[in-house]
Structure 1
Amino acid sequence: MNTQEIQSSSLRAASLLEEVLELREAVLSEAVVFEHRFAVDDRTPDQATRNLAHYLALRRKDLRILQRRLMALGLSSLGRLEGRVLPTLDAVAHALASLAGREAMVSCQSETAFFTGESELTKATTALMGEASPGRRTRVMVTLPGTAAENPELIRALAHAGMNIARINCAHDGPDAWRAMTAFVKEAAQETGREIRILMDIAGPKIRTGEISALKKKGKLQAGDRIRLIATGTPEANADLPFAAAVSLPEMVTRLAVGNRLRYDDGKLDAVVEAVSDGEAVIRVERVKAGGVKLKPEKGINLPDTALGLSPLTAKDELDLATVVECADMIGYSFVSRPDDIDLLDGVLARLGQGQKPIGLIAKIEQPAALANLPDLMVRARRRGPFGVMIARGDLAAEIGFERLAEMQEEILWLCEAASVPCVWATQVLEDMVKEGIPTRSEMTDAAMAARAECVMLNKGPAIVDAVSLLDRLLCRMDEHVFKKTPTLRALKSW
């Protein structure tokens, strides 16, 4: 490199140094707003909360041009700083100062200090989910079928295949079955010599179809069809409205407004509210899967535009929690959307006398309000003890639209890493493998991408044991290639 090239590089570095230092000051200044919002009792926020505030301030800026200019000098593009915002900015500034021949304005942290966020996330994950399996950091969670209460062999096989967490869905079965599953999980853990934790998922106020009425019993809904929904009573179809349905929650109908969207059965049908009257609503089908969709009872309904004002805890949940605190290591919290929902749950747990055994919490992110409030939710919940977030991709996709799901699941992963909060990648992972015994190509890619989360959840199905074995091997291989957003460059021997 000749003298002119050296001077040009030095000038570029000097210009970028000023830009990075200005960015650093702006992040510190604007993060104060978030730190004040997160503060409680004037306590100094911990490292993870401060880093989350810095990340939120940073990500309000468009840094794409700066990133490319830094890359051209062989420096960090700031693209992997979720867990270490200020340490990364400081390291880049320090390197730019050296290239510019200037005195560094900031100190460069030690390697240990630089990766503090990473170590905090590891500790938080272990506290919530238990120790990782050899060869992979991502845990495997498995939803147990109701038959597992009478089938210890299934749970034993899942444990040997690599299950780290057993999930019991409290929307099904009852306390006796849950206690039986818990006992079998503990026996399997002892047999394998590994810790296997138990998550019990309380149901929350699920919105579903109730009794159905249709003029043609085998008729399927098509675009343009209209459906009568009733808040109470027995649905009756007629010539004008050949489909009718009751619903599980009357508020679902009484709070609808004309123009509100409705999605049925995990997005197999999209509709819009056409008319509302006392205790009734008429919806018009706008889009449906090829061949149409049959209207059935006990199918999920999502209302992305409708504020239902429902408590995330039902009377059933409060009864179920008495067994949950007896059996579980973690609670899966459905329908959570605000920080106050965390306090609501803890109030019920306190009345039940929970406190002798700390119980972890996983907030299921499945509503637009939960997305909007996610930073505040995480900060509030982290104070109570071990905490994680589940990307509940089924309900979330139905609420925000399928085309936005991929984008939002990435943002949730980033926010969780910034706050040192472990994240669960859930819903239809290896679904064909679990049900049919053979995975599709696309779901294998999805499962590989899930390695960036701290846990992957599989649903129940006939081939679940084989699916756990496959996922265990896949996650072990991916562990050699990637950590969160960072590719790890092990030696390649394919060529």
Structure 2
Amino acid sequence: MVNVVNSNNLLQDLQQLRETVIREGEAIYQPWRSLITRETFHHSAQNLAHYLALRKQDLRQIQLALMPWGLSSLGKIESRVIPNLDAVTCTLAEICQQPNPLKSRPSLTDFFAGDQLLHKNTIEVFGNSSQARQVRIMVTLPREAADNYELVKELLIRGTDCLRINCAHDRPEEWQKMIEHINKAKLQTRRNCRLLMDLAGPKIRLEEVLSPNGEKRIHPDEIILLSKDKPSQPHPDYWQVSCSVPEILPKLKIGTRIWIDDGHLGAIIESIDSQGIWLRVTHTRPKGEKLKADKGINFPETIINLNPLTAKDLADLDFVANHADLIGYSFVQTARDIQLLQTELEKRLGAQWRNKAIIAKIETQEAINNLPELIVQAAGKQPFGVMIARGDLAVEIGYQRLAEMQEEILWLCQAAHVPVIWATQVLETLVKTGIPSRAEITDAAMGERAECVMLNKGSFIIEAVSILDDVLTRMEAHQSKKGSQLRALHSWDN
């Protein structure tokens, strides 16, 4: 245990920690060097490597020991690992009246260089903010935006900084009309607004569903046969379903879990034979679930390794590469997945592909595990951001781990000076019904620690943008990433 009282011992502990972080961080960074072609990212990659080395340590006792000396700033170290350690070490040496173990204290420029890089990278991805706040608001456009210019214009007036087109829906003809409306609204409102176009990626869904005896709902302990072929006729004893991506089935193993319909239906693989995969339902709501075609399937305990670029994505990319400012990349899991998209962009854009921003949607445990390498492969070559896709991610890693993992993703991206989009179900009740729940207002406020917060489409999206703008503006005065701004409070003024 770290000595909380003895400052000399604490100074030695800090020096040892610094040496360990530099040594292990350098070992992490060296294999990345050859992958980086953007010179400005070398500093970020080194800081990311140092952060990974630092967070291998349990720092709770050092944090506690620093507190009585007024030096507990390691909790906000993400963007500046070595400068922060150096500043604390130098100050503690002065307190101990010991010779400074370092040559000098880091300059203000060096200390805040990481924050400046994150700010610069955020502008590179999202453009300059037209608002008083720095956190951007992104909105998914509905089909209506192709025909309703006033909707697009009003979204910009209310505070939208980035508009999103989901390429899983509509066609290039509708996308073109939406883009024309965006460009017109930008000119008329004199507001900046970037365009994100999301490639759909592989959709793992139920393709065909046959119920036993015409049943409408499925309940726990019922049996499902998941097969590669579409079922032809009902069976009286079990449900039959087929999968839109049958090449997944050979990778499944007995005892692993499957979730269907955004986690509403859970099942476990009990056996595998020539007919297919036999599942026993383990989880539904009390009244059961409606098992229908086109419902999504998640395999959280199976490494799938699908090509994230489908034939549709490649066709859509011909349009997207020439119209989008940011390209959303679904189902990214490895650095090789990033490389695939970069190769396709180069085919379409030549050397200009390096100016196109990629947004990697983090949706699986595998993507989390490989996040440092994903960041280096992407941000080492072009503008890059990360979207925390909390819908699929919650199903994949478990709802109880979502809060923890979204924090870790935020920290890691801050260490790499990479902007983050806080996404999925933000103010969803408000967007759909016009009245927010209490919890989702708090969730939206927490989104202030990202660089962008995304709203999905709905009947009350205009009102939702206004409320989110207000919430983020207020929170920005109180909070910056993990750090409290300590703005004067007036709630208890006499």
- When normalised by structure 2's length, the TM-score is 0.95
Q: Tell me the CA shift for residue 254 of structure 1.
A: 3.2
- Corresponding position: 1:469 with 2:466: yes
- Give the one of 456, 459, 473 matched to 1:459: 456
Is the CA contact (8 Å cut-off) linking 2:152 and 2:182 kept in structure 1?
yes
- Give the one of 28, 31, 34 matched to 2:25: 31
- Corresponding position: 1:247 with 2:256: no
Distance in 2 separating the partners of 1:41 and 1:244: 47
- Give the one of 301, 316, 322 matched to 1:320: 316
Q: Tell me the CA shift for residue 115 of structure 1.
A: 0.9
Q: Tell me the CA shift for residue 216 of structure 1.
A: 5.0
CA gap 1:181/1:208 in 2 versus in 1, 3 angstroms:
same
Is the CA contact (8 Å cut-off) linking 1:269 and 1:285 kept in structure 2?
yes
- Give the one of 197, 221, 224 matched to 2:221: 224
Per the alignment, residue 263 of structure 2 pairs with 267
Q: Tell me the CA shift for residue 235 of structure 1.
A: 5.0
- Corresponding position: 1:205 with 2:192: no
* Aligned-partner SS, 2:385: strand
Distance in 1 separating the partners of 2:124 and 2:213: 54
- Alpha-carbon deviations, 1:399-420, whole Å to 9, x = none? 1111111100000000000000
Tell me the percent identity.
Answer: 47
Per the alignment, residue 400 of structure 1 pairs with 397
CA gap 1:62/1:237 in 2 versus in 1, 3 angstroms:
same
Q: Structure 1 counterpart of 2:19, which letter?
A: E
* Aligned-partner SS, 2:295: coil
Per the alignment, residue 425 of structure 1 pairs with 422
- Alpha-carbon deviations, 1:176-229, whole Å to 9, x = none? 111111111111111111111100000111101112211355521211111121
* Aligned-partner SS, 2:349: coil
Map of 1:120-199 to 2, 5 A cutoff?
Answer: 120-199=117-196
Is the CA contact (8 Å cut-off) linking 1:83 and 1:118 kept in structure 2?
yes
Is the CA contact (8 Å cut-off) linking 1:254 and 1:279 kept in structure 2?
no
Is the CA contact (8 Å cut-off) linking 2:33 and 2:42 kept in structure 1?
no
Distance in 1 separating the partners of 2:75 and 2:63: 8
- Give the one of 4, 11, 14 matched to 1:20: 14
Distance in 2 separating the partners of 1:317 and 1:274: 35
- Corresponding position: 1:387 with 2:384: yes
- Alpha-carbon deviations, 1:269-306, whole Å to 9, x = none? 11111122236212111112232211011111100122
CA gap 1:41/1:426 in 2 versus in 1, 3 angstroms:
closer
Is the CA contact (8 Å cut-off) linking 2:231 and 2:240 kept in structure 1?
no
Q: Tell me the CA shift for residue 479 of structure 1.
A: 0.6
- Give the one of 409, 434, 438 matched to 2:435: 438
* Aligned-partner SS, 1:39: helix
Is the CA contact (8 Å cut-off) linking 1:391 and 1:426 kept in structure 2?
yes
Q: Structure 1 counterpart of 2:430, which letter?
A: M
Per the alignment, residue 357 of structure 2 pairs with 360
Per the alignment, residue 414 of structure 1 pairs with 411
Distance in 1 separating the partners of 2:376 and 2:410: 15
Is the CA contact (8 Å cut-off) linking 2:358 and 2:383 kept in structure 1?
yes
Distance in 1 separating the partners of 2:108 and 2:442: 33
- Alpha-carbon deviations, 1:108-150, whole Å to 9, x = none? 1122321111110000000001112332111111011122111
Is the CA contact (8 Å cut-off) linking 2:362 and 2:368 kept in structure 1?
yes
Q: Tell me the CA shift for residue 327 of structure 1.
A: 1.3
Is the CA contact (8 Å cut-off) linking 1:424 and 1:453 kept in structure 2?
yes
- Give the one of 253, 260, 263 matched to 1:257: 253
Is the CA contact (8 Å cut-off) linking 2:208 and 2:230 kept in structure 1?
no
* Aligned-partner SS, 2:34: coil
Distance in 2 separating the partners of 1:235 and 1:143: 38
Distance in 2 separating the partners of 1:158 and 1:129: 16
- Give the one of 102, 105, 111 matched to 1:114: 111
Per the alignment, residue 348 of structure 1 pairs with 344
Per the alignment, residue 301 of structure 1 pairs with 297
- Alpha-carbon deviations, 1:369-402, whole Å to 9, x = none? 1101100110110122110000000011111111
Distance in 2 separating the partners of 1:222 and 1:355: 55
Is the CA contact (8 Å cut-off) linking 1:254 and 1:280 kept in structure 2?
no
Distance in 1 separating the partners of 2:396 and 2:33: 31
Q: Structure 1 counterpart of 2:18, which letter?
A: R
Is the CA contact (8 Å cut-off) linking 2:141 and 2:457 kept in structure 1?
yes
Per the alignment, residue 281 of structure 1 pairs with 277
Q: Structure 2 counterpart of 1:231, which letter?
A: K
- Give the one of 354, 362, 366 matched to 1:369: 366
* Aligned-partner SS, 2:290: coil
Q: Structure 2 counterpart of 1:26, which letter?
A: T
- 5+ residue gaps, structure 2, are none
Distance in 2 separating the partners of 1:461 and 1:168: 14
Distance in 1 separating the partners of 2:186 and 2:227: 48
Is the CA contact (8 Å cut-off) linking 1:204 and 1:314 kept in structure 2?
yes
The 10-residue stretch of structure 1 (454-463 or 107-116) with the greater mean CA deviation from structure 2 = 107-116
Is the CA contact (8 Å cut-off) linking 2:26 and 2:46 kept in structure 1?
no
**How many aligned positions are there?**
486
- Alpha-carbon deviations, 1:240-295, whole Å to 9, x = none? 21x22222111233332211210111111111111222362121111122322110
Distance in 2 separating the partners of 1:311 and 1:392: 19
* Aligned-partner SS, 1:46: helix
Q: Tell me the CA shift for residue 348 of structure 1.
A: 1.3
Is the CA contact (8 Å cut-off) linking 1:267 and 1:398 kept in structure 2?
yes
Per the alignment, residue 3 of structure 1 pairs with none
The 10-residue stretch of structure 1 (300-309 or 435-444) with the greater mean CA deviation from structure 2 = 300-309
Distance in 2 separating the partners of 1:146 and 1:234: 34
Distance in 2 separating the partners of 1:320 and 1:168: 12
* Aligned-partner SS, 2:466: helix
Distance in 2 separating the partners of 1:320 and 1:24: 48
Q: Structure 2 counterpart of 1:40, which letter?
A: S
* Aligned-partner SS, 1:310: coil
Distance in 1 separating the partners of 2:324 and 2:20: 44
Q: Tell me the CA shift for residue 466 of structure 1.
A: 0.5
- 5+ residue gaps, structure 1, are 1-7
The 10-residue stretch of structure 1 (297-306 or 465-474) with the greater mean CA deviation from structure 2 = 297-306
CA gap 1:480/1:255 in 2 versus in 1, 3 angstroms:
same
- Alpha-carbon deviations, 1:145-193, whole Å to 9, x = none? 1221111111111111111111100111111111111111111111111
Per the alignment, residue 67 of structure 2 pairs with 71
Q: Tell me the CA shift for residue 91 of structure 1.
A: 0.8
Is the CA contact (8 Å cut-off) linking 1:168 and 1:201 kept in structure 2?
yes
